[in-house]
């Protein structure tokens, strides 16, 4: 249960059934409270996840842009579960540098804490936000963190559990197999659709192979698929999964029933597979024939460009001040410039001793994320 009841009114309302905002408006209108303290009862557990326009992969720095997709999970209420989403944004709206980065308060309720967490996991999986960086991956990771699940946490949780920052989630092998089974079934469906538009008249399903290799998070899973009108059976070397869904290629949300349990995957088509986001993990999932998978292992990985001599803008924002000039020698930790974003001023400091060779930005400039501010020798 929430210990900040006076602040987080959605959580309080869910466990008491009292509409606090209504009560405050009535009191402000001169009315007397309609209930007494001994009439306030606590029922069940509630969770709140604050969805922010902050990128957890960049140290939770603010992110701005247009919400090209904003599809919260459906709000619902039953005797065993509640999903509530308090928000003020909409698809097509813009998140700017001038306001607080909070997008929504996603809340769940259940008779017990484990149930409230489980509802929150599913709600976060089904929450679609595109166009900006946001903290849904981190919130999902917290819901699966062992210490959080048992309640063994303090306000130092992030510092203790993510001392090097949030870099995503490595899913357990059994969950990876579940995702791999879904990816194989979805990919096969896409292959069938492609053969239907090929112009050939023979049975399209007979020309779609049943053996594939699904690769994700450094693991390769050879699978074999048997399909029928009600779904697919995806077999691994050590067992299999039954997968059913009404998903169609092109849909960004795939609700898959795996062995009788519904899960929600955010899906984006890419070459030879999908980008799939699930439970805090952002995965490139490839589905290849055995021969293609064998040849893929011989491909040279592309190395990222060297940016060690550049100061890049870590967030979209306004340059308030530049404190160095070309030719200046800077020391490790020295202040270089200040960037303002979302009501906060962020001081960027030198990571090592060096000499400034070029300055690209000046006070008053508005910069995009990763824009070059200055260069060093």
Positions annotated as catalytic residues are: 4
Cα separation, 269 vs 233, in Å, equals 22
Question: Nearest 5°: phi and psi at 70?
Answer: -140, 100
CB 273 within 8 A of CB 187: yes
CB 113 within 8 A of CB 151: yes
CA angle at 202 for the pair 199 and 204, rounded to the nearest 5°: 80
**CA 318 vs CA 94, 167, 299: distances in Å:** 17, 27, 41
Cα separation, 194 vs 294, in Å, equals 24
CB atoms near residue 108 (< 10 Å) = 29
Counting every residue written for the chain, the total comes to 377
The sign of the CA dihedral 26, 31, 35, 38 is positive
Both structure tokens of 139: 């919130």
Cα separation, 65 vs 337, in Å, equals 23
CB 170 within 8 A of CB 178: no
CB atoms near residue 87 (< 10 Å) = 13
Cα separation, 48 vs 251, in Å, equals 28
Cα separation, 225 vs 228, in Å, equals 10
CB burial of 316-332 (b: ≥16 within 10 Å; e: otherwise) equals: bbbbeebebeeeeebee
């Amino acid at each position: 249960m929430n210990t900040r009841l006076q602040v987080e009114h959605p959580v309080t309302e869910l466990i008491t059934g009292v509409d606090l905002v209504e009560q405050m408006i009535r009191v402000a209108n001169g009315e007397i409270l309609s209930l007494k303290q001994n009439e306030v009862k606590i029922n069940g557990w509630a969770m709140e996840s604050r969805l922010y326009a902050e990128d957890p992969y960049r140290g939770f720095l603010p992110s701005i842009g247009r919400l090209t997709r904003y599809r919260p999970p459906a709000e619902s209420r039953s005797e065993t579960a509640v999903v509530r989403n308090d928000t003020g944004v909409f698809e097509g709206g813009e998140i700017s540098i001038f306001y607080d980065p909070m997008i929504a308060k996603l809340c769940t309720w259940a008779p017990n804490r484990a149930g409230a967490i489980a509802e929150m996991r599913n709600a976060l999986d089904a929450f679609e936000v595109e166009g900006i960086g946001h903290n849904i991956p981190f919130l999902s990771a917290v819901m699966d963190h062992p210490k959080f699940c048992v309640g063994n946490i303090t306000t130092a949780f992030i510092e203790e559990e993510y001392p090097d920052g949030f870099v995503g989630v490595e899913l357990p092998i059994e969950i990876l197999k579940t995702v791999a089974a879904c990816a194989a079934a979805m990919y096969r469906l896409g292959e069938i659709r492609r053969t239907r538009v090929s112009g050939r008249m023979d049975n399209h399903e007979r020309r779609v192979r049943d053996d594939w290799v699904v690769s994700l998070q450094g693991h390769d899973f050879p699978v074999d698929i048997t399909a029928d009108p009600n779904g697919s059976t995806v077999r691994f070397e050590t067992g299999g999964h039954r997968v059913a869904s009404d998903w169609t290629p092109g849909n960004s949300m795939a609700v898959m029933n795996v062995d009788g349990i519904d899960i929600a995957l955010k899906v984006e088509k890419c070459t030879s597979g999908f980008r799939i986001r699930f439970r805090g993990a952002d995965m490139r999932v490839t589905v290849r024939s055995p021969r293609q998978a064998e040849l893929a292992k011989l491909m040279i990985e592309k190395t990222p460009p060297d940016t060690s001599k550049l100061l890049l803008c870590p967030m979209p924002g306004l340059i308030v001040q530049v404190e160095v000039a070309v030719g200046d020698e800077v020391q490790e930790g020295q202040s270089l410039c200040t960037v303002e974003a979302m009501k906060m001023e962020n001081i960027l400091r030198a990571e090592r001793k060096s000499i400034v060779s070029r300055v690209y930005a000046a006070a008053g400039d508005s910069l995009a994320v990763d824009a070059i501010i200055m260069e060093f020798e």
